Amino acid sequence: MTHEADPNDSIDSIVVECDLAEPPTQVWKALTDPELLSAWLMPNDIRPHIGARFTFQADADVGGGIIECEVLAAEPPSLLRYSWRSDDSDRDSRDRTLDSVVTFVLTETADGGTHLRFVHDGFPIGAMQPVAQLAEATPTVIDLEVERTRRRTSPTMATGGLRWAA
Amino acid sequence: MYRMIEADVFRALADPTRRAVYERLAGREMSVSELTAGFAISQPAISQHLAALRGAGLVRERRQGRHAYYRIDPNGLAPLVRWIARYRAFWPKRIDKLKQVLKGMEP
C-alpha cells in the first residue's frame, strides 16, 4: 500500500494521503461522477454543488443502511467536503444519527499527477481532551477493547492506530 | 446491534452541555449538587443530562443512602472507538479502489 499514516492521525480523525498519477481534473471526476464514485466507494446520487443533498447505500463493512450527505464545499478540482451522517434506520427517532465530515483535498504535483489528502473527522469525540487523558489513566480497559477491534479489522488498522490507547 | 449503541453514544455527546457534564465527571466522581455548582443550569436539567448519559452507557450511578454519585464508565466510549476503527479500516481500502478506477478511466 502506498498510503502513509498522517502524523496528526488520532482518535478524532482518519487521514489517508497518497500520490496519484492522474491529474486533479480526472481525480475530481472520479470523486463527483455518481457512476465512477460508486465504482470505488458506494452507490450514490452525488451532485457536487454546495448545499446539494445526496445519499450513499452503505456497505456492510460500515454498518449498512443509508448515509446522508450534504455538500459543504465544492471547488473543482481541488476541494470537496461533505457531511457524512449514518442514518440509524433501526430506530424511529430522526435525531439518532452519527454525524461526521469527509474532506478531499487535491493538489497538482510537479509531474502533473495529484496529491490526495483525505480526512474523515468531526466526530463528537473531537472536543474531548479530558476524556483522552482519562483513557491514558485507565489503559487496561480501553486497550482491551481496542485490541479486539484491531483484530477484527486488521490488517489495514496498521495505517493508523488509535493513539490515545497507547 | 452495535449501531444502536453507537448512535446513542454519538447523540449523547452531540449536545455541548452534556459533553461538558461528561468531561467534568471524567475528572472525578460527583453528586448532582456538586456537578450543578459548575453549570449555569438547574439541577433538574443536569439530572436529565445525566439520565441521557447513563442511557448511552457513558455514566454510572452509585447510590449511598439518600445520595447518588456519578462517574464516567470507562467502557462507555468503546462503541465510538469501534465506529471510528471501522472507518479507519474502510477508507484505505476504498482509496486503493479509487486508484484502480482512475487507471481504467479515459483521461
Across the interface, of B7, B95, B98, the residue whose CB is closest to A88 is B7
Across the interface, of A98, A128, A157, the residue whose CB is closest to B85 is A157
pLDDT tens profile B51-91: 999 998 999 999 999 899 999 998 888 877 777 888 999 99
Q: Minimum mean pLDDT among A22-36, A132-146, B34-48, B87-101: which range?
A: A132-146
pLDDT: is A75 or A140 the higher one? A75
Task: Find the domain containing B84 and state its range.
Answer: 2-104
Grid cell locating B26? 471524567
Distance CA B30, CA B72 (A): 10
Q: Give this prediction's pTM.
A: 0.70
* CATH number for position B19: 1.10.10.10
Confidence of residue A123 (pLDDT cuts 50, 70, 90): confident
- Asked if B106 has any chain A CB less than 8 Å from its own CB, the reply is no
Number of domains in chain B: 1
Distance CA A69, CA A72 (A): 9
pLDDT: is A6 or B81 the higher one? B81
- H helices of B1-107, in order, are 2-14, 16-27, 32-37, 43-55, 78-104
> What is the C-alpha R_g of chain A?
17
Contacts of A108 (CB under 8 A, 6+ apart): A23, A24, A114, A115
pLDDT tens profile A94-112: 344 567 899 999 999 999 9
Distance CA A156, CA A129 (A): 26
- Asked if A162 has any chain B CB less than 8 Å from its own CB, the reply is yes
- Asked if B72 has any chain A CB less than 8 Å from its own CB, the reply is yes
- Which domains are seen in chain A, by residue range? 1-126 (3.30.530.20), 128-166 (no CATH)
Confidence of residue A61 (pLDDT cuts 50, 70, 90): confident
Q: At residue B106, does pLDDT exceed 60?
A: yes
Measure in Å the smallest separation between the Cα of B55 and chain A Cα atoms: 13
Across the interface, of A11, A16, A146, the residue whose CB is closest to B92 is A16
**Average pLDDT estimate for A82-99:** 60
Which residues in chain A are contacts of B92 at CB distance < 8 A?
Answer: 1, 3, 16, 156, 159
Across the interface, of A29, A131, A156, the residue whose CB is closest to B23 is A131
Task: Tabulate helix, strand, coil % of chain A (nearest 5).
Answer: 35, 35, 35
Across the interface, do A157 and B2 touch by the CB < 8 Å criterion?
A: no
Strand partners, B59: B72
Report which secondary-structure segment, H or E, holds A36: helix A34-40
Residue labelled with grid coordinates 446522508: A68
